Structure 1
Amino acid sequence: MDRAPGLSVRLRLTLSYAGFIMLAGVLLLAVVWVFVLRHLPAYTNVSGGVLVRSFLLRDFASAAGTVMVFLLAFGLLGGWILAGRMLAPLTRITDATRLATNGSLSHRIQLPGRKDEFRELADAFDMMLVRLEAHVTEQQRFAANASHELRTPLAISKTLIDVARTDPHHDTGELLDRLHAVNTRAIDLTEALLVLSRANHRSFTREHVDLSLMAEEATETLLPLAEKRGVTLETSGDIAHTIGSQALLLQLATNLVHNAIVHNRPEGTVWVNTGVRAGTVVLTVENTGVKLTPELTATLTEPFQRGTERIHAGHGGVGLGLAIVKTITQAHDGTLTLTPRPAGGIRVTVELPAVSPHTVTAGAWRG
């Protein structure tokens, strides 16, 4: 935004301080005039002669002028120094802002001293820089990982096509099957990225959702996969009303149940439960997979992170399942908790704000 040049804040504070000093001096001289000099007689006998009031007034006026000049100089100099000291923290904040504008997010103000308005502003700015730097770093890492993941199926497709061109007698059916599998993975990855972006921007319609129905639909959809892998699905729980996107919450439940099935041990079990706590609705999904350390568990919600035995033939996923779950949960103002089970496997708990079905109004609103 272009602005016309104007006086600096320091100069304005200096002029204000000097003006206040001048005003105080004028008021003091006025008090002396009104309550002292005005009541002097025309002639006053003093030792050594007679003092004439007119001479006293003339001397007073000359001294008053000198005092006013001194007060003006003192006000300007003192005001300039004081304004500089008071605005020094603001200068540091401005310098840090310019550095951040130029892309340097690692700089911190770290303003010393006791708490006041400037230090509160500096601390808030430092906290903003911390979060912004973490967000930018996460986005850069995500973009690099996404580029790598998208490049892989494209490179495989190119290799398969090159093989087909150089070897016309190659089995066409096998080539088409492999190309179909690679393209399917690329499509799944692209769709997952779109879901992640949509949830990140909270650009979805909010409506009344029963989380227990989302969990039930997800388990029914994935039941054939569980039977194929010899995994037992057990569902239970209560009605859990919340507000959000039905499509995204169904995606959340589906991702959790899918992960619990494909990252399970043979003939394992998956438990899906919904419930209501104080002010929240809870979806819990846990399985009987391999033992996980707390350190590894903490990384599983990062994009494209795969833990021990997290890749299985035909159902390796794209490494975004729990990242999508985390983003959808945050977009619905909820919390996601991952806890390794002592006997093996993991327990994933999603908590979302609860609502009463009687508070739901007709229609939906934008998030």
Structure 2
Amino acid sequence: MSVRLRLTLSYAGFILLAGALLLAVVWVFLLRYVPDAVLIASDPPGRDPGLFVPNRSDLLRAFAPRAAAASAFLLVFGLAGGWFLAGRMLAPLARITDATRMAASGSLSHRIRLPGREDEFRELADAFDGMLARLEAHVAEQRRFAANASHELRTPLTVTQTLLDVARRDPDRDTGQLVDRLHAVNTWAIDLTEALLLLTRADQRSFPRGHVDLSLVAEEATETLLPLAEGRGLTIETSGDIAPTMGSHPLLLQMTTNLLHNAIVHNFPGQGAVWVRTGARGRSVTLTVGNTGEELAPRLVSTLAEPFRRGTGRIHADHVGVGLGLAIVTSITEAHDGTLTVTPRAGDGLIVTVQLPAAPS
């Protein structure tokens, strides 16, 4: 049976039961004042000889048909009214079901937008609309990411194919130079693939969690990238307090390394600076990485966390990195229930702040 039919039978059964109880109360109340038999003495002077005094049997014969008729009326009324009320109550559920079918068929742009007062159905519809909006945005982001990843992965493969075609047409060509270029292109493809795998791992949150101090992670990342900074003539300043959080040490180290790497690469060679600060405030800890560099418009800064994006647009040349640095940072931050803020620095450069929940004391 459908839910509407079950609700209808429930309403009708309740009304019928209430009517039966009411009739039973009336019957019991009447029985208290009606004897089983009535004895009438001989007619005294002045008594009407045609006087009729009913007993319980007479009352039963008069009450039972009317009680049955009232019960039948209550049953019909309960079924009709219950069917109508159940339909009115389940109408929002039908709209939600239609929206679910449309979403299952691939149409994520439809919204329920249920009108009326705030009740359980309205809360369910609003929650479903919010889920559809997030799902639509996620699907669109995944499609853009898949298209960009396919384009970026195709580039090293195309370069490799071109180098091999050139070597085939010119067998006397120096193989040493060819091997070096193939090695560089292959390294680029491996780095890109590993970055994509790391991004997927962070999105799925499939990693163990433990106690991690962001200040120690920042020092470790700084020591790793210090030769790169010195080679470019940059200075790195690390300061701050202990910043304990719960998470994956390898992923948080990768996040910090990516931020530092971007701050070093996108900087002024020979005269730039990078600084890293950690801190704890209340129930959260922060990691801030700032650098000097070219001045970026706020509109462009808001797109830097997208995959395969740079301050000057998409990757086209042999630039350092594979264009997934801030995208990986964003995924790792979200996987640790944190927030990432990228703001242009006054004058030049960027300031990137990662805020994570503090570890319980």
Superposed pair shares fold, TM > 0.5: yes
1:308 equivalent to 2:302? Answer: no
**C-alpha separation between the residues in 2 aligned to 1:311 and 1:80?**
64
**C-alpha separation between the residues in 1 aligned to 2:244 and 2:65?**
85
Whichever residue aligns with residue 143 of structure 2, its letter is Q
Shift of 1:14: 0.7
Which stretches in structure 2 are left out of the alignment for 5+ residues? Answer: 41-46
**C-alpha separation between the residues in 2 aligned to 1:329 and 1:283?**
11
| Residues 310 and 316 in structure 1, CA contact (< 8 A), matched pair in contact too | no
In the TM superposition, what are the counterparts of 1:174-323 in structure 2 within 5 Å?
Answer: 174-266=177-269, 267-308=271-312, 315-323=319-327
- How big is each residue's C-alpha offset from its partner over 1:320-350, in whole Å with a ceiling of 9 and x where there is no partner? 0001111111112222111101211100111
Shift of 1:288: 0.8
Aligned to 2:71: 68
**C-alpha separation between the residues in 2 aligned to 1:46 and 1:172?**
138
| Residues 311 and 317 in structure 1, CA contact (< 8 A), matched pair in contact too | no
Aligned to 2:52: 50
1:344 equivalent to 2:348? Answer: yes
Aligned to 1:363: none
Aligned to 2:44: none
Whichever residue aligns with residue 104 of structure 1, its letter is S
**C-alpha separation between the residues in 1 aligned to 2:281 and 2:33?**
84
CA RMSD, 1 decimal: 2.3
Aligned to 1:21: 15
Task: Select between 229-238 and 251-260 the one with higher mean Cα deviation.
Answer: 229-238
Aligned to 2:328: 324
Distance 1:263 1:71, change over 3 A: same
Task: Select between 346-355 and 180-189 the one with higher mean Cα deviation.
Answer: 346-355
Whichever residue aligns with residue 342 of structure 2, its letter is L
**C-alpha separation between the residues in 2 aligned to 1:312 and 1:98?**
42
**C-alpha separation between the residues in 1 aligned to 2:211 and 2:48?**
98
Distance 1:11 1:48, change over 3 A: farther
Shift of 1:48: 8.0
Aligned to 1:333: 337
Distance 1:205 1:286, change over 3 A: same
1:84 equivalent to 2:87? Answer: yes
- How big is each residue's C-alpha offset from its partner over 1:30-53, in whole Å with a ceiling of 9 and x where there is no partner? 222222255246669999863644
SS at match of 2:287: strand
Whichever residue aligns with residue 125 of structure 1, its letter is F
Shift of 1:252: 1.0
Count how many residue pairs are aligned between Structure 1 and Structure 2.
351
**C-alpha separation between the residues in 1 aligned to 2:164 and 2:188?**
17
Whichever residue aligns with residue 305 of structure 2, its letter is T
**C-alpha separation between the residues in 2 aligned to 1:146 and 1:46?**
109
Which stretches in structure 1 are left out of the alignment for 5+ residues? Answer: 1-6, 360-367
Whichever residue aligns with residue 194 of structure 2, its letter is E
**C-alpha separation between the residues in 2 aligned to 1:265 and 1:46?**
125
- How big is each residue's C-alpha offset from its partner over 1:109-152, in whole Å with a ceiling of 9 and x where there is no partner? 11100101111111111111111111122112111111111111
Distance 1:164 1:14, change over 3 A: same
**C-alpha separation between the residues in 1 aligned to 2:58 and 2:252?**
94
Whichever residue aligns with residue 301 of structure 2, its letter is T
SS at match of 2:52: strand
- How big is each residue's C-alpha offset from its partner over 1:198-237, in whole Å with a ceiling of 9 and x where there is no partner? 1111222222222122212222221222122222222222
Whichever residue aligns with residue 186 of structure 1, its letter is A
Task: Select between 193-202 and 307-316 the one with higher mean Cα deviation.
Answer: 307-316
Whichever residue aligns with residue 223 of structure 1, its letter is L
| Residues 309 and 315 in structure 2, CA contact (< 8 A), matched pair in contact too | no
**C-alpha separation between the residues in 1 aligned to 2:292 and 2:155?**
31
| % identical equivalent positions | 72
In the TM superposition, what are the counterparts of 1:77-226 in structure 2 within 5 Å?
Answer: 77-226=80-229
**C-alpha separation between the residues in 2 aligned to 1:313 and 1:253?**
25
Distance 1:309 1:97, change over 3 A: closer
| Residues 215 and 272 in structure 1, CA contact (< 8 A), matched pair in contact too | yes
SS at match of 1:39: coil
**C-alpha separation between the residues in 2 aligned to 1:187 and 1:133?**
31
TM-score (normalizing by structure 1): 0.89
Distance 1:308 1:46, change over 3 A: farther
Shift of 1:241: 2.1
Whichever residue aligns with residue 312 of structure 2, its letter is T
Whichever residue aligns with residue 25 of structure 1, its letter is G
Shift of 1:315: 4.3
| Residues 242 and 352 in structure 1, CA contact (< 8 A), matched pair in contact too | yes
- How big is each residue's C-alpha offset from its partner over 1:69-114, in whole Å with a ceiling of 9 and x where there is no partner? 1111111111111111111111111222222222222111111001
